[in-house]
Copies of this chain bind each other. A is one copy, B any other.
């Protein structure tokens, strides 16, 4: 039995605590925020998320998939909205393949409750002020230390407490405090790269009697070339909209300064959505504008400390894979602990070696997918290409699986393999699309010979 600290009680930290507790370890989770299960807690990050097969597979392993599927809303495809409010849809995969809109906080609560039930100790309002990678210890500043210091007159430097562990796992997200300690060690490669777009969450309330005002079982997209808005359904009939929009330029968050400008922009750009957003101006002015960053680093292991999830590989949200990749991290770490008979000295290096190419692959795919979502899904040629690929998938379901279903539904295929195959498919499809009159003659293609090129 190892004495393990997990830093971060978010989705990945909570799931990992369940896996490790089930293996018989002593697990303490340190969380900077207050317990989200208490009233008045910080609302945290995005409201809903797309849970797909990789995430579900991990939840199945810890016995929570069924409970979560009951509160999830299946989204079978993309529903695109053009400038006139005209809609067209495109299925994500084959019949029965879909992604799930789930509430981030609900999912997090289910995971924390299960972890506590199993005996994981959660400590909230614990700010990590130091991570000692030599001693595998955490220095923590917490409300109790303030109280102690006031009654006992202890000075500032002693308002913290040190805890030593066998292993520390940093699951504390894109702005990881554990990773900061790594950054002051030699030969730690690190990159944080912001895109020029930020995001803001907006709201479409339920219709009369809790009805959905847009088609319920889709991920809605308003692609507008250089930016886009999306909407995911919530169980109460509402939709959470997210505007992905440049920080600067015209139009941008910077250029929409007045109520009138906001209203006019939405009326012109998202007319069908704007009509369903009575609180638009207030939401736009009050909700924060958040930035979007890709984090890449290596190594993920220093002595007995490991980075996992967003702390090791923060990605942009455009493939809906951030949480899924983090859950897959937990599943794979657990599988390696099985494979190497709980030998942590072997498992931690094996984990980073195995997993780093996959993290890099999904980081790249997520950036590429922003261009696809905001621009290409409104492009005729691109849609034809997708149509041909769907046909190939239908005819040769084991041989030509398009990139999106590989990433989203093939829950044991490595992200790096999906990327490699996807690039090869793109090359083949580039050639196919060069054929004259492809838009009228595509159904006469020799599909078998196309698949054989792969």
Contact = CB atoms under 8 A, between A and B. Distances in A.
Interface of A: 155-157, 183, 186-194, 247, 291
A246 to B, nearest CB: 12
8 contacts: A155-B156, A155-B157, A157-B157, A186-B291, A187-B247, A190-B190, A191-B192, A191-B193
Most buried by B among A156, A187, A188, A193: A187
Contact of A192 (B157, B189, B193, B291): B189
Q: How many copies does the complex hold?
A: 2
A453 to B, nearest CB: 31
Given A156-B156, A188-B194, 12 more contacts: A155-B155, A156-B157, A186-B291, A187-B194, A187-B247, A187-B291, A189-B193, A189-B194, A190-B191, A190-B192, A191-B191, A191-B192
A360 to B, nearest CB: 14
Nearest to A290: B186
A154 to B, nearest CB: 9
Nearest to A198: B187
A146 to B, nearest CB: 13
Nearest to A157: B156
Contacts of A190: 190-192
A271 to B, nearest CB: 31
Contacts of A187: 194, 247, 291
A260 to B, nearest CB: 28
Nearest to A297: B192
A133 to B, nearest CB: 17
A187 B175 CA distance: 12
Nearest to A154: B155
A428 B279 CA distance: 61
A187 B192 CA distance: 9
A190 B183 CA distance: 12
* Nearest 3 CB-CB pairings of A with B: A156-B157, A155-B155, A191-B191
Contacts of A192: 183, 188-191
